[in-house]
Structure 1
Amino acid sequence: MGPHPAVAAIRLAVRRVLHDILTDHTPTHPDTAHPDPTHADIAHEQSPPPLVLVACSGGADSMALASALAFEAPKLGIRAGGITVDHGLQPGSDLRAQEVVVRLTELGLGPAESIGVSVGRNGGPEAAARDARYAALDAAAERHGATAVLLGHTRDDQAETVLLGLARGSGIRSLSGMAAVSGGPGATRRYRRPFLHLDRQTARKACMVQSLPVWEDPHNSDPAYTRSRLRQEGLPALEKALGKGVVEALARTAQLSRDDADALDAWARQAEASVRDTAGLLECAKLYALPPAVRRRILRRAAIEAGAPAGSLFARHIEEIDRLITGWRGQRAINLPGKVVVQRQGGRLVIRQG
């Protein structure tokens, strides 16, 4: 008799991601036309097995992920560890973090450690906590030489992310939600999200049938947090009005939006060189000839390269720059976050830090 369907589902999801990680990690011989099998075998033997870490809060999603990683990694010769981040936002959070470390260790994960962080105030509490968490995970991955970090985001989390992006009105990229594979500093494929196609209930069921203790974060039901309100009130209201299947439809929208956004980003990168003059300045007439979606991507990229923080650069900022091209009336310079100034001079855009 095989495992419970929920356990089988989470293990299969992790197994697929681990196979991808092994493919990325396997060294290749530079002479692909005439490979030297002996040399390749020696290189493979000398290369240590990859280390994969799981980011675990102690909640059902990440505990299910940790259990699946602990089960699947040894069968593939992969080392597996776990990291829990203590945000210090609740009384006793340090004790909760240590309990999670104990649970990770009992699953057979190592290294298993807790990292305390200080949460700032930039961008609101949710964004500040997220920034602190990823900074800690990046540092842990670098310190341990980890090839990848697994995150327990589910299809439900993806649906919530799409709705939050829709509410911000930030364009198709914000509707694309979370990528199954994303990067960290110097590591474009560090973060993996095996559960994006699984619902939250599957993870909870997997924990229950395996008798895994889970921690219910009170912030997840605290109406002070936007995502919590969306989870407790918004999505249930949508399902009541529109019927079941809203979460699946939103997750599907995320993937379709991501495909479109990736294609437009690629187009913008290819077009950018053709709209710059010999001094590297953007020529307004050539920008005007481009489709708006491509042009605005070039403008956003140029603003970020000049020093504007990506997280503080919103659609309204790009629209203001765009009007220097499409609605030129002799406007004054535009001030962007990061003390970046944009002005039109002689039919060209000058984007610099003031």
Structure 2
Amino acid sequence: MAGMGPPPAVADVRRAVRLALDDLAPGSLVLVACSGGADSLALAAATGFVASRAGLDAGLLTVDHGLQEGSDERAAEVVRLAPALGLVPAEALRVRVGGGGGPEAAARDARYAALSEAAGRLGAAAVLLGHTRDDQAETVLLRLARGSGTRSLAGMPARAGLYRRPLLGLGRRTTVAACEGLGLSPWDDPHNLDPRYTRVRVRERLLPALEEELGPGVAEALARTADLCRDDADALDGWADAAYAEAVVRDPAHDPDRDSDRDSAGDSALSDIGGGAGAVTLAVQGLAELPRAVRLRVLRRAAIAAGAPPGALSAAHVLQADRLVTGWRGQRRVEVPGGVGVVRRYGTLVFARQPASPVS
């Protein structure tokens, strides 16, 4: 009937995309990462519709991980569909998946590397990802099981650099219904049903069990938890940034508290780790007065600034460094990843790389 609007699910997805893109200047290029599944296919269709009316250029990227027979042809099918959705240019990106960190992490790393390269090459202002509220709930559960902190429990952000996730406020049922309303046929990746993958077990077993035992709305509640955790983490991170800047000792040689905790263990430990370029020195007194949640963030920043790889720096490492502040008993050096050592000396904590062993 003339004048009738789109099906509700289609309208919901389009509205979410419109809100996600409302800050982009006309003529900007937006790329959709589309696997051909219901979530990303609904996102791709909505982006083509919204972009044409907002004066934006829109294209599509699909990643062929090469992990399944016929994956190249499926990627080609997604590319062939793109012009009908109003998405040009469209490219299939073939990646090589390594083995580090497990198959899920390796595939994710390869995928994001390919998407980032293509976005830079094409001059894209944004890359849209099809993660939904259900994906967010799964992420929160997975991180909760690992004993993660507030920032990790914040889940996936709606925006991170070039990447945007317009559908985090919508459930998977909405994207499936949107595809049905548009006559699109999503591809069901068999990996999404393979119980060897932890996320699949969370999706197919754990979340349904929680819904059955606790009642409906578990995914929505977990997504709300992520939003609340993100607000808290943002506030704590802002406080920690200011506290870090205040705690850094710019000239350790002229620290007025040099004698406050002088001991031979600290002197010998400092000689073991060095203290030159790249070393970070923090005043202990200021650290001790901070709330623990802020202090641990400050110590993590110092370790990373001194050369510790963020991905390898665990909460356990930071807690060991924290004991040099809160449980000082003359301990020797604490070691964290990246060859970085931490010692307490003359009222300060020094984070520095260990000097290279001399060549004999």
TM-score normalised by L of structure 1? 0.88
Q: 1:308 and 1:206 mapped to 2: Cα distance?
A: 45
Matched with 2:288 is 288
- Is this contact kept in 2: 1:56–1:84, CA < 8 A? yes
* Selected match of 1:239 from 201, 206, 211: 211
- The correspondence of residues 187-226 of structure 1 with structure 2, limited to 5 A, is 190-226=162-198
1:205-249 superposed Cα distances (whole Å, 9 cap, x missing partner): 111121112111111111111111100111111111111111111
Matched with 1:103 is 81
- Is this contact kept in 2: 1:156–1:247, CA < 8 A? yes
Give how far 1:128 is off.
1.6
Q: 1:171 and 1:16 mapped to 2: Cα distance?
A: 30
Q: 2:332 and 2:94 mapped to 1: Cα distance?
A: 46
Q: 2:97 and 2:343 mapped to 1: Cα distance?
A: 36
TM-aligned CA distance change 1:217 to 1:174, over 3 Å:
same
Matched with 1:5 is 8
- Is this contact kept in 2: 1:64–1:207, CA < 8 A? yes
Q: 1:254 and 1:227 mapped to 2: Cα distance?
A: 17
Give how far 1:343 is off.
2.2
1:139 counterpart = 2:117: yes
Give how far 1:131 is off.
1.4
* Structure 1 unaligned regions, length at least 5: 26-47, 184-189
Matched with 1:166 is 144
Q: 1:306 and 1:225 mapped to 2: Cα distance?
A: 36
TM-aligned CA distance change 1:196 to 1:332, over 3 Å:
same
- Is this contact kept in 1: 2:52–2:86, CA < 8 A? no
Matched with 1:33 is none
- Is this contact kept in 1: 2:150–2:229, CA < 8 A? yes
Q: 1:334 and 1:99 mapped to 2: Cα distance?
A: 54
What fraction of aligned residue pairs are identical, expressed as a percent? 63
Give how far 1:259 is off.
0.4
Moved over 3 A (4+): none
Matched with 1:298 is 298
- The correspondence of residues 272-287 of structure 1 with structure 2, limited to 5 A, is 272-279=244-251, 281-287=281-287
Q: 1:119 and 1:203 mapped to 2: Cα distance?
A: 28
* Selected match of 2:102 from 101, 110, 124: 124
State the SS of the aligned residue for 1:281.
strand
Matched with 2:236 is 264
1:244-293 superposed Cα distances (whole Å, 9 cap, x missing partner): 11111101011010000000000011111221223351112221111011
1:195 partner letter? L
TM-aligned CA distance change 1:138 to 1:197, over 3 Å:
same
Q: 2:81 and 2:311 mapped to 1: Cα distance?
A: 35
TM-aligned CA distance change 1:71 to 1:83, over 3 Å:
same
1:212 partner letter? L
- The correspondence of residues 37-56 of structure 1 with structure 2, limited to 5 A, is 49-56=27-34
- Is this contact kept in 2: 1:51–1:80, CA < 8 A? yes
Give how far 1:353 is off.
2.4
How many correspondences in the alignment? 323
Q: 1:141 and 1:7 mapped to 2: Cα distance?
A: 27
Q: 1:272 and 1:142 mapped to 2: Cα distance?
A: 33
2:5 partner letter? G
Give how far 1:79 is off.
0.1
Q: 1:119 and 1:322 mapped to 2: Cα distance?
A: 38
Give how far 1:77 is off.
0.7
Give how far 1:344 is off.
2.1
TM-aligned CA distance change 1:104 to 1:155, over 3 Å:
same
Give how far 1:204 is off.
0.6
1:136 partner letter? A
Give how far 1:311 is off.
1.8
Give how far 1:129 is off.
1.4
Q: 2:82 and 2:304 mapped to 1: Cα distance?
A: 40
Mean Cα deviation higher: 329-338 or 81-90: 329-338
Matched with 1:40 is none
- Which structure is larger by alpha-carbon Rg, 1 or 2? 2
1:149 partner letter? V
Give how far 1:150 is off.
0.6
1:319 counterpart = 2:319: yes
Q: 1:333 and 1:61 mapped to 2: Cα distance?
A: 50
- Is this contact kept in 2: 1:170–1:314, CA < 8 A? no
Matched with 2:72 is 94
